Amino acid sequence: MTKKDFIALADAIRDHQYAASIGCINRTAFTADQIQALAGFCKDQNYNFMHDRWLDYIAGKCGKNGGKVAA
C-alpha cells in the first residue's frame, strides 16, 4: 500500500466516525481497538507507514502530512 492508500483509508474512517457521531442510521463508530488493528495491518503492508501520525490524522490532531489541521 502507498501513502495515498493510507490517506484514503484514514479519510474513509474519519467519514464513518463522523456519520456515526451524528446518528446516521446503521452507523456504529469504530472502536479504538479496531482502529489499532487497522494501523497494525498498514504497518505490515509498508514499513514506512507512520502509525502515530496516521492515528493522529484520524483523530483530527494533524493534517494528512502531519502538519497543522486545515481550517
**Residue 70 located in a structural domain:** no
Query: Which parts of the chain fold into alpha helices (H)?
Result: 3-21, 32-45, 51-59
Res. 22 pLDDT band, cuts 50 70 90: confident
pLDDT of residue 23: 82
Q: Is residue 68 part of a domain?
A: no
- Classify residue 41: in a domain, yes or no: yes
Q: Is residue 67 part of a domain?
A: no
Distance CA 54, CA 70 (A): 16
Structural contact between residues 27 and 20, judged by C-beta atoms closer than 8 angstroms: yes
- pTM attached to this predicted model: 0.87
Decide if 48 is inside a domain.
yes
Percentage of the chain with pLDDT > 90? 72
Answer left, alpha or beta for residue 65, where phi above 0 means left and psi between -120 and 50 means alpha: alpha
- Give the domain range for residue 13: 3-59
Considering the chain, what is the average pLDDT of its residues? 91
CB-CB neighbours of 70 under 10 Å: 6
Q: Does a structural domain hold residue 69?
A: no
Number of separate domains in the chain:
1
